[in-house]
Amino acid sequence: MAEHLLKKYSSAVPRYTSYPTAPHFHEGIGTGEYAAWLQALDSQNRLSLYIHIPYCDRLCWFCACHTKHTLRYEPIASYLKALRSEIEAVAGLVAPSVQVTAVHFGGGSPTMLKPEDLIELMGHLRSVFSFAHDAEISVEIDPNDVDEGRYDALAEIGMTRASIGVQDFDLKVQTTINRMQSFEQTQSVVDAVRARGAHSVNCDVLYGLPHQTLDTLRATIEKIVSLSPDRVALFGYAHVPWMKKHQTMIPQQALPDVLARYRQMKTAAEMLVEAGYEAIGIDHFARPGDTLALAVKEGELRRNFQGYTDDSADALIGLGASAIGKLPQGYVQNMVATGEYERMADAEGLCVVRGIALSAEDRVRAFVIERIMCDFALDLSALTALYGELALPAIEEAKLFAAGDRDGLVHLEADHFALTETGKPFARSIAATFDTYLSNGRGRHSLAV
C-alpha cells in the first residue's frame, strides 16, 4: 500500500464500538432515566449482561481498561458486595420474563476472584434474572491467575467461551509492557478450559507494541495458530498516555510508526487467513464454522464494547464500576471510581452517572457506521427502507464521499456503497466521515491503523 495513503487516512478516530461514542456521554442521563429505560424493556426482549471486575494483581503498561492494581483481596470482597446490590436493583426493574442469553465477565481480571466468590456471583445472577437454557457464558482469563480451583469454578458456572489475553510472546516485548506470560503457560490454560467443557477459545494479540518487529510478531502468530483457537482478535495497540498514565512507562521511541504498524497488521492477518481463519471486520478472525463467521455470512455481525459479536440481544446491561450498557433508548455508564461506585450501590443500587439518549439521527448514523465496520458496505436502499427521509442526509454523504474519492477507497454502484480492498484497512476513518459528533473536539482517540 502506498505510504501516502497510510499517512492520509491513519489519523486518530474512534474504534466505533458504539455510536455516539463514550466521550459524548453526558451527566444529563442518570439513575432516573436508567430506571425508566429498564422498566420499559419488553417482556420478550433478550438481555446480554456484562460484569466488570476492575482489579488486577499486576498492571500491564499497555492496558487502557478501567482497572486498578491490588495484591490484597479485601478491596475485591468489598466490591463484590456492592456489585450484588447493583445486580439486585437492576434485576428488580426488569420484567421477570426477560431472558438473559449471554453473560460476559470482563475486567480487569475476573479470574482474580476466589473460586467460591465466582460461583456465588454467577448463582446470584441466575437467582434474580431469568436465563435462557443455552445462554453463552464468556470469561476473560489472565493465565497468571488461574489454578485448578479456578478452572473447576469456571466449569461450575457453565463457562462456554474463554477469552485469553496473549498480546505477544516475545520476551523483550513482554518485559517492556510488563506482561510476562510464556507460551507453555498459555497452552496449559487452553487445554484446561477445553477439558472442562468450553466450546470456544479466543486469543487476543496486539500489534504496534514497543520493540515489536515483523519477525517477533510472526513467531507469536505461529504459536497462536498451534493452539488452534476458535477466534483470534488482532488489535492495534492504542497508545493513549493522556488517558492512562501508566502508559508513560512505555518508551515512545520504541513504538513502530504508522507504516510499520500497517505491515505488522497485514502480515499477521495474512498468516491467520493462510492458517484457515476467516477475516471478520477490521480485527477479528474465526474458524469457518464459528458463530462469528456464520454471522458474517448471514449479515448479522454486530459491534459492542467487546468488539465484533454475534450477540443478538435487544439490550446490554453493564454491571460494575465504569460498565457501559445499551438499551433501546440509549447508552448508560456507571460511576468509574470504585469507591464512589460502592457508595452508590450500597445507598441506592443503581450507579449510572452519565449516558446519552439516542436521537432519530443518531439511530441512522449508528446503523451506517456499524454496517461499514461490520460489512465494509452499506445498502442505501435498505437504509431508506428502515429510516425513510431521515436517511437522506447520510445517503447524500455516502454519494459525495464516493464521488470525491480519488484514492480508490470505495465503490458506489446503484444503491450499493462498498469499501474496496484498498479502503478496508481504513474502515474506521471512512466510518468517521458519518460521525456528526467528531467536529466538537471532545475526546482523543487512537490511530486508525
CATH number, domain of 322, equals 3.80.30.20
pLDDT bracket for residue 127 (50, 70, 90): very high
**In residues, how long is the chain?**
449
- Residues 147-172, mean pLDDT to the nearest whole number: 96
Residue 242 sits in the same domain as residue 106 = yes
- Give the model confidence (pLDDT) of 313-323 as tens digits: 999 999 999 99
Q: Looking up cell 516485548, which residue turns up?
A: 173
Enumerate the β-bridge partners of residue 307: 304
Residue 285 sits in the same domain as residue 353 = yes
Total structural domains within the chain: 2
Given this model, what pLDDT does residue 66 score? Answer: 73
CATH number, domain of 408, equals 1.10.10.920
Q: Which of 263, 271, 281 is nearest to 213 (CA)?
A: 263
Question: CB-based contacts of 18: which residues, under 8 Å, 6+ apart?
Answer: 303, 304, 305, 324, 326, 331, 366
Residue 163 sits in the same domain as residue 24 = yes
Residue 293 sits in the same domain as residue 428 = no
- Residues 268-290, mean pLDDT to the nearest whole number: 97
Helix (H) or strand (E) holding 202: strand 200-207
Given this model, what pLDDT does residue 306 score? Answer: 85
- Give the model confidence (pLDDT) of 254-268 as tens digits: 999 989 999 999 999
How many Å apart are CA 75 and CA 188, to the nearest integer?
29
Residue 285 sits in the same domain as residue 419 = no
Q: Is 169 in contact with 220 (CB distance < 8 Å)? A: yes
Domain boundary among 357, 387, 412: 357
Residue 291 sits in the same domain as residue 345 = yes
Prediction pTM value? 0.93
State what percent of residues in the chain have pLDDT above 90: 84
Say if 171 falls within a structural domain.
yes
Q: Report DSSP letters for 311-339, one per residue.
A: ---SEEEEESTT-EEEETTEEEEE-SSHH
Residue 228 sits in the same domain as residue 377 = no
Q: Is 233 in contact with 205 (CB distance < 8 Å)? A: yes
Instruction: Write down the H helix ranges in 10-50.
Output: 31-39
Say if 448 falls within a structural domain.
no
Residue 301 sits in the same domain as residue 424 = no
How many Å apart are CA 96 and CA 27, to the nearest integer?
29
Residue 349 sits in the same domain as residue 380 = no
Say if 443 falls within a structural domain.
no
33 compared with 68, residue with greater pLDDT: 33
58 compared with 288, residue with greater pLDDT: 288
Q: Report DSSP letters for 233-251, one per residue.
A: EEEEP---TTT-GGGGGS-
pLDDT bracket for residue 39 (50, 70, 90): very high
Domain boundary among 315, 336, 357: 357
- Give the model confidence (pLDDT) of 371-428 as tens digits: 999 999 999 999 999 999 999 999 999 999 999 999 999 999 999 999 999 999 999 9
Question: CB-based contacts of 371: which residues, under 8 Å, 6+ apart?
Answer: 377, 378, 379
Q: Is 62 in contact with 179 (CB distance < 8 Å)? A: yes
Angle between helices 360-375 and 380-387 (to 10 degrees): 150
Determine whether 146 is exposed, middle or buried from the number of CB atoms within 10 Å of its CB (0-12, 13-18, 19+): buried
Q: Report DSSP letters for 375-412, one per residue.
A: HSEEEHHHHHHHHGGGGHHHHHHHHHHHHH--SS-EEE
How many Å apart are CA 403 and CA 423, to the nearest integer?
15
Tell me which residue range forms the domain holding 101: 3-10+19-357
Q: Is 150 in contact with 119 (CB distance < 8 Å)? A: no
Count CA atoms within 13 Å of residue 203 on its CB side: 26
Domain boundary among 332, 357, 382: 357
- Give the model confidence (pLDDT) of 97-111 as tens digits: 999 999 999 998 999
Q: Which of 83, 72, 146 is nearest to 109 (CA)?
A: 146
DSSP single-letter state for residue 41: S
Residue 382 sits in the same domain as residue 331 = no
Q: Which of 162, 98, 86 is nearest to 338 (CA)?
A: 86
Least confident of 6-10, 90-94, 278-282, 430-434: 6-10
Say if 446 falls within a structural domain.
no
Residue 398 sits in the same domain as residue 275 = no
Q: Which of 96, 77, 86 is nearest to 51 (CA)?
A: 86
Residue 341's alpha-carbon distances to 105, 128, 446, in angstroms, are: 18, 21, 28
Residue 325 sits in the same domain as residue 378 = no
Residue 316's alpha-carbon distances to 46, 331, 333, 376, 399, in angstroms, are: 9, 9, 11, 24, 33
pLDDT bracket for residue 326 (50, 70, 90): very high
